[in-house]
Amino acid sequence: MALLPALLGAALVAAPLVSLVLMAVSGGSDALSTLAGSVLPDALRQTALLLGGVALLAGTIGAATAWLVTAYRFPGSRVLSWLLPLPMAVPTYVTALVYVELLDAAGPVRTALRQAFGRQVSDGWFPEVRSLPGCILLLSFVLYPYVFVALRASFLGREPSIAAAARVHGASPLRTFRHVALPLARPALAAGVTLVLLEALNDIGASEYLGVRTLTVSAYTAWLERGDLVGATQIACSALAVVALILLVEAASRERSGFAASAAATARHEPAPLDGWAAGSATLACAAPIAIGFVVPCAFLVREILRRDLVRTMSPAFPAQIGYTLAFAGAATLVVILWSVAIGIAGRSRPTRLARAFGGLAGFGYAVPGTVLVLGLLPVFMGADGLLSGAITAVSGYEPGLLLIGSGAGIVLAYTIRFMRIGTGAVAAQFAQIPVEVEHVARTLGARPRALARQIQLPLLRPAVAGAALLVFVDALKELPATLLLRPLNVETLATLVYGANSRGLFEDGALAALLIVLAGLGPVIWLTRATRVRATAPGDRPARAPQAALRADPSSATLKAASV
């Protein structure tokens, strides 16, 4: 019985992946060779270029800003360290839509340049935002906070005397960063970059709109535009192979970094002061990503809401659409949290290798792009609908029709698979900080499993559960691919409202929905910032909070995703 919650979670994740592979194989080698000769080469090329560019640029921005606000003191450094994660609250598709409106040929920026310098400057020399370089640039300024958060936690958790020794031996600040701080933080860097790559691969809204045909976008268009379900599954399997490769590279990077194991800091971090041009450059370097990734998109949305008076003229259906969004996200959050707690408590009572393996597989869905997951879920839902409908008809004589496909239950189930890792990771990180002797004493005093869970384990898990619930809720709120493909007929959520408004060429009409998504995303960002703003622990100081210690002990992408609690 102790393995049952983890086993069910593992089966829930494995079922769509197995069905996806079976559907792809059913197309035969002829269909695969045709696909390989037409779609796959260009999709693989654009995917590789996009992921490589985003990894390089987002990694550079995240690493540089994390080191600056940690190692140096300059005007605004303390405030900037809180603000740098803010772009994480803005969905990638919202950022892409905003900048196309601003930088396209008919946008205000190029119109002003045309009036000031003529068409040759505006139309001849201005870079095209709807391009692969434009997509790399915009995704990087939204996703760099994953790298920033991971590296800031790692830098702050290090023994300051290591960097001090490098400076004593004559190392310049740049040399200290490149040859001391960054190599020691390599596991955290790998975790942050891995999450950046997974988020970029999952994206369809921004990539599709900016004209980049990644594997995920190609699978989506093959299914919905060409009606080629088998071809879509074969492309999706290629995307799944890329996901597996990313995770394997991350795991290998952490295994090769034995020298980078976290050290317990014994002194306080004392940032070195900067002045003059160095201070101004540091302030500008840290403020620019915030402005590009958060301030400009939010200012544009607020401007459009006020200019079009969208609050007063909102559709009568808008409150109901907000209700659908909250209902789907809330139901998925409840399922994820209850299931994660069950997996955590069961694994705590019987910490076997098999239980850990099933628990790890149950959380694998966070790495699977939403489009790929939905393609694998369709046969599973069809089979389950057939069984459920047949059973209900046999018992009651009533034919219920489809229960999962095109229903709210299907969306909630897809959310649960996608975001289960957030809950299981948070619970595992919290349990790792609770001495097992606490439960041993309770059992010695006669506490039964239910009383032990209710009176000791659940109260101790409450902070982790609260933070994980917040993060799951907002991630479900922003999820576009799964919602777009599984929503019931005539049902809109905030994410699909934004996508639909842009599909009609009226993105500004979705500005209110987009701003609500951004505002909802600020909660987890604040939690994440607080969780990773740690001090080096000096003698007599309080120990680090559980998520902070867990992130330093296991700087994997899965732990980072759950570290916001």
How confident is the model over 173-222, as pLDDT tens digits?
667 676 677 777 777 888 888 889 988 998 888 898 898 999 999 888 88
Confidence of residue 265 (pLDDT cuts 50, 70, 90): very low
Residues linked to residue 59 through DSSP beta bridges, in sequence order: none
- This prediction has a pTM of 0.83
Angle value at C-alpha 559, between 182 and 7, nearest 5 degrees: 150
234 close to 24: Cβ distance less than 8 angstroms: yes
454: left (phi over 0), alpha (psi -120 to 50) or beta: alpha
Q: What integer pLDDT is reported at residue 260 of this predicted model? A: 44
Give the range among 109-123, 249-263, 452-466, 532-546 with minimum mean pLDDT.
532-546
pLDDT at 524 exceeding the cut of 70: yes
Asked whether the beta carbons of 9 and 358 are under 8 A apart, the reply is yes
* Kind plus residue range of the DSSP H or E element containing 288: helix 276-290
DSSP 8-state code for residue 199? H
Query: What HEC string does 104-143 produce?
Result: CCCCHHHHHHHHHHCHHHHHHHCCCCCCHHHHHHHHHHHH
Residue-level pLDDT at 6: 82
Q: What is the pLDDT of residues 85-100, one digit of tens each?
A: 899 889 999 999 999 9
Condensed to tens digits (0 to 9), the pLDDT of residues 4-31 reads 888 888 888 888 889 888 888 876 666 5
Instruction: Convert the pLDDT of each residue in 379-403 to its tens digit.
Output: 888 888 888 888 888 888 777 777 7
Domains of the chain: which residue ranges? 4-266+307-534+545-562
Ramachandran angles phi, psi of 273, nearest 5°: -75, 145
CATH topology of domain 4-266+307-534+545-562: MetI-like fold (1.10.3720)
Average pLDDT over residues 155-161: 64
CA gap 184, 190 in Å, rounded: 12
Task: Identify residue 560 by its one-letter amino acid code.
Answer: L
